């Protein structure tokens, strides 16, 4: 979870859009609330940046964009080159020194160990002091290697700067020698995805799913567009059912469908409110739903509270209502799931 504005605002991203950081126009598109209706954006200096632009050229573009553009309420992050790259240290120094208090997080690629996070955190400690930052940058770790999957929980708990884990399917597939990284990925990479989800949730962080790499073009026929959009939707509905809070996307055309997949709909919000109110009216315990006959118990309410928390972020549920229900649930069970997951202050 990204904690912003001195702890007064939190964001559990449904959509994180990554884009090549060396391209000024793409920064403008990412900042535009109409063109890019996403919760978070990531200026990419790693895989999305061509070799000839790496180094001072791309860093200067990112610094200029961060200092001059208004990204609104979006969480703004930068992905430097990996720690193993000769560009990593220069990327971090240039952006942290060049744009103090203008962005929120570092996306750490190919995070494989606690040491990767600690090294990054120590560099940020020094650079923030030097540049006069008013708040600490947070870290999202990209889990995209077998070693990273095995060390996911240690990575998630390595630093107080940690905000989330992101599963990177393309590099993970390449490491395992798997050619197909798009279709059927929720099945083919089930172990890795659920490992990332469990590690993130155990540490109170958010979990973000991998990208869907297929995009449609303006001249594509409607049937091809439909197939690609259906694939995007199926991947993300499945990932949400695995516990992912959101997904990376690589183009604004993916934003609306991705947001929808990670946002409870009106029916789900209405159900969450109804069963939560009923549960508390009857003082807790197990009971039959008078409308459906299904069993309602504390586990049902925990799921309902998660949907209500996501509804707050989407603007469809008042934050005061969520806080009230969390307090009532804690009074019955002694356990506040939302507090445990750091979903509310």
Question: 94: pLDDT confidence band, cut at 50, 70 and 90?
Answer: very high
Q: What percent of the chain has pLDDT over 90?
A: 67
- Rounded Cα distance, 104 and 185, in Å: 30
Average pLDDT score over the chain = 90
298 and 167, same structural domain? no
Give the helix/strand (H/E) hosting 207.
strand 206-209
Lookup: tokens for 187? 């099945």
285 and 224, same structural domain? no
Around Cβ 258, how many Cβ atoms within 10 Å? 27
Q: What pLDDT, in 10s, does the model give residues 231-253? A: 999 999 999 999 999 999 999 99
Count of structural domains within the chain: 2
CATH code for position 232: 3.20.20.60
Residue 72 has a pLDDT of 94
272 and 255, same structural domain? no
Q: What percent of the chain has pLDDT over 70?
A: 96
Residue 345 has a pLDDT of 39
271 and 255, same structural domain? no
Indicate whether 345 belongs to any domain. no
Taking 50 as the threshold, does the pLDDT of residue 312 lie above it? yes
Taking 80 as the threshold, does the pLDDT of residue 255 lie above it? yes
Question: 335: pLDDT confidence band, cut at 50, 70 and 90?
Answer: low
Residue 295 has a pLDDT of 84
- Which of 212, 238, 261 lies at the terminal end of a domain, its last residue? 261
pTM: 0.86
Taking 50 as the threshold, does the pLDDT of residue 343 lie above it? no
Domain that holds residue 321: 266-340
Residue 5 has a pLDDT of 81
Lookup: tokens for 133? 């930052």
Taking 50 as the threshold, does the pLDDT of residue 53 lie above it? yes
Question: 182: pLDDT confidence band, cut at 50, 70 and 90?
Answer: confident
Lookup: tokens for 335? 């356990």
Query: Alpha-carbon torsion 315, 318, 320, 325, what sign?
Result: negative
Question: 323: pLDDT confidence band, cut at 50, 70 and 90?
Answer: confident
Residue 316 has a pLDDT of 86
Indicate whether 290 belongs to any domain. yes
Q: What pLDDT, in 10s, does the model give residues 125-153? A: 999 999 999 999 999 999 999 999 999 99
Residue 341 has a pLDDT of 53
């Amino acid at each position: 979870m990204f904690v912003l504005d001195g702890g007064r605002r939190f964001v559990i991203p449904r959509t994180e859009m990554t884009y090549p950081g060396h391209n000024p126009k793409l920064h403008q598109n990412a900042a535009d609330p109409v063109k890019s209706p996403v919760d978070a954006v990531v200026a990419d200096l790693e895989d999305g940046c061509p070799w000839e632009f790496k180094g001072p050229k791309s860093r200067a573009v990112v610094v200029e964009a961060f200092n001059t553009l208004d990204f609104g309420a979006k969480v703004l992050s930068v992905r430097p080159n990996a720690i193993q790259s000769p560009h990593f240290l220069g990327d971090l120094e240039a952006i942290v020194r060049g744009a103090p208090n203008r962005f929120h997080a570092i996306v750490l690629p190919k995070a494989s160990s606690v040491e990767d996070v600690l090294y990054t955190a120590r560099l940020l400690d020094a650079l923030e002091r030097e540049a006069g930052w008013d708040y600490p940058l947070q870290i999202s770790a990209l889990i995209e290697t077998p070693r990273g999957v095995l060390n996911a929980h240690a990575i998630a708990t390595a630093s107080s700067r940690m905000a989330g884990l992101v599963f990177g399917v393309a590099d993970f597939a390449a490491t395992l020698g798997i050619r197909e990284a798009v279709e059927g990925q929720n099945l083919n990479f089930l172990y890795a995805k659920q490992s990332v989800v469990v590690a993130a949730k155990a540490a109170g962080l958010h979990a973000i799913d991998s990208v869907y790499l297929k995009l449609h073009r303006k001249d594509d026929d409607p049937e091809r567009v439909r197939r690609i959009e259906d694939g995007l939707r199926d991947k993300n509905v499945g990932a949400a059912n695995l516990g992912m809070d959101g997904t990376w996307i690589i183009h604004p055309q993916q934003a609306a469908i991705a947001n929808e997949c990670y946002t409870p709909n009106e029916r789900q919000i209405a159900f969450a409110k109804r069963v939560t109110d009923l549960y508390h009216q009857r003082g807790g315990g197990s009971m039959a739903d008078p409308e459906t006959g299904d069993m309602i118990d504390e586990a049902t309410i925990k799921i309902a509270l998660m949907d209500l928390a996501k509804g707050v972020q989407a603007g469809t549920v008042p934050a005061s209502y969520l806080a009230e229900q969390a307090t009532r649930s804690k009074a019955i069970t002694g356990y506040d799931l939302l507090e445990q997951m750091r979903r509310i202050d």
